[in-house]
Amino acid sequence: MLNIVEFGIRNNEYYCLIHFKIKQELVPNDLQNINPPDPIKNKFSHKGVILSGRGPIWFYGFLIHFYHPTKFIAIYDPRLNGAVVIESHTLEYKLGDLVPINTL
């Protein structure tokens, strides 16, 4: 099976930026065969995750659920030059906080 979604990882001290690119039409059934970068195997479960990429809202829901165990989850918004925290398990990052991103 082809990789329908291509993932890239960029780490820094506080978070791991997960950028995705959908390479062909994505349908809901495809979720059963998509394997995002694993935070435990890739040793970033102790950090936050920033998600970036163009995709349907249900795909973002899938990724948010997948990365739930991480320190926080934020969604990149290029209009803000940063990522908005949408889930947090730490006092360091609160819902609605903006995590600055220098460049993608």
pLDDT tens column, 17-72: 999 999 999 999 999 999 999 999 999 999 999 999 999 999 999 999 999 999 99
Give me the domain span that covers residue 58: 5-22+36-100
The reply to whether 29 falls in a domain is: no
**Are the C-beta atoms of residues 2 and 34 closer than 8 Å to each other?**
no
pTM of the model: 0.93
> How many structural domains does the chain have?
1
The reply to whether 86 falls in a domain is: yes
The reply to whether 18 falls in a domain is: yes
- Return all residues near 30 (Cβ < 8 A) that are at least 6 apart: 4
The reply to whether 71 falls in a domain is: yes
